[in-house]
Structures are given as C-alpha cells and as structure tokens.
Amino acid sequence: MSTVLPAVNSNASVLPRSSVGGTLASSTADESQDRFLKLLVTQMRNQDPMNPMDNAQVTTQLAQISTVGGIDKLNNSLSAMSSAMSATQNASLIGRNVVVSSDLVRLGGSGPVTVGVELAGAADKVGVAIQDASGRTVRSLSFGALPQGTSTFEWDGRNDAGERVAAGDYSLRLNATNASRAVVASGLVAGYVDSVTMQGGSSLLNLRGLGAADVSQVRRID
C-alpha cells in the first residue's frame, strides 16, 4: 500500500544507498556426456559374452545421455532468455521516476526532494529525524498513523528554525511504533532514471544527480 503525505517543501538532491557462465555450463555438460560414454564402453567391454546387451538396451542408454544433454541446453537457453527479458524490463525504467530504499539525502539541487518511509506494519506514530554528517538533527518531523507500505513527503531543505541548511549529505533516522511497540521502518528517496547499467547479473539504475541504485532497491515506480 502506498501513501503520499502532504508536502513539507524543499530544495535538494538525493544519494541512494548504495554465475556461472555459459562456457562452464557447457563444459560441465560435455564432461557428463564423456563420463557416461566411457562407462557405457566399459560396460560393453566387460559384459557377459553369454548374455550380451541387446540393441534396445544400448539405444535406451544413449537416449538417456542425449536427453540429459538436451535438458542442459534447454536450461542454458531459458537462463539466457530470462536475463534478456530482465534487461528489457529494467531498460523500460529509463525516463521514469522511482522511489528507492535509502536513508541518505544529498542537499544541493533545486526544487523539493521526495523522501519517505517504508513500514513493515501499520504504525500509530512515526518520527523522522534529518541529520547532518556529524549526526546532529537539523529537522524533526512527526506523523500520526501511517499504513503498512510506503509513505512519502517532501523536505524543503530547512532546519527546525526555518533556516536553509548548507548543501551536503544528510541522513534519515526513523522511529515508528504501534501501541508503543516498535515497527520496522526504512528510509526512502526518489529519483529520475537517466540510464540503466548491466553489471554482472544485476542492473544498476543511474539516477539523475544522485548516483546508482540497484534495481532491487526500487519500491515504487511513478
């Protein structure tokens, strides 16, 4: 469930928190086939001459290794297709605004910055402290009851006295409770996806002015 809270206003940008290859799989399949054929040849050499294997038995065993090899190739093909589909889906995020899991905020841009909280369960009280690099709280925000899921708001880049704070890195510190019992909460920040970079088996979203965020950090697509 996603909730958008009233704006608190702002001026900022955000810094998100920041296989086995086909050759090996093919080699493993080839080795399996080679071992199978060696065992089959050894079995035929040492068979009882009075009771030799018939053609049907040999054909059946050859069919088995053929099936195993076919399954390996099918698995490799499906893996490649899955990777290609994942890359295509992630590329579709280019030009979209996303909300990602992060507790770091970089103040210094123009316009309001969207930040928020992700709750593991419903809470009747939620507090957000925005702290500078030294750990000093510059802005304290309090919200009443919030549902499970993501809730977002905007920070105007000002402290509790209404003064604009210096550009730089800030962090979100969250406190959420329900009937005085703690609720697990994590920070959120929003950004615009400029491009997607494939790195190993994962995709990194390059957020405008914010840096890279793993696609697994995405909590909402706007």
Q: Is the pLDDT of residue 16 over 60?
A: no
Distances (CA, A) of 132 to 54, 170, 171, 173, 175: 81, 5, 7, 11, 17
Whether pTM > 0.85 for this model: the answer is no
**Which residues have a Cβ under 8 Å from the Cβ of 61 and sit 6 or more positions away?**
36, 40
Instruction: Return the higher-pLDDT residue of 170 and 89.
Output: 170
The lowest-confidence range among 3-17, 31-45, 73-87, 184-198 is 3-17
Residue holding tokens 């316009």?
111
Instruction: Return the higher-pLDDT residue of 73 and 222.
Output: 222
Q: Is the pLDDT of residue 80 over 60?
A: no
The lowest-confidence range among 48-52, 118-122, 213-217 is 48-52
Q: Is the pLDDT of residue 37 over 70?
A: no
Residue 201 DSSP SS3: coil
Average pLDDT, the chain: 77
Residue 90 DSSP SS3: helix
Name the token pair of 17: 């928190």
Instruction: Return the higher-pLDDT residue of 2 and 60.
Output: 60
**Phi, psi at 69, each rounded to 5°:** -65, -40
Q: What angle do CA 147, 175, 136 make, to 5 degrees?
A: 140
CA proximity to 170, closest of 135, 141, 210: 135
Domain borders along the chain are: 2-17+95-221, 22-91
The lowest-confidence range among 21-30, 66-75, 81-90, 177-186 is 21-30
Split at pLDDT 50, 70, 90, the class of 50 is: low
Which contacts (CB < 8 Å, 24+ apart) does range 34-40 have? 36/61, 36/64, 36/65, 36/68, 37/65
Average pLDDT over residues 129-155: 94
CA proximity to 190, closest of 123, 121, 114: 114
What CATH architecture applies to the domain 2-17+95-221?
Answer: Sandwich (2.60)
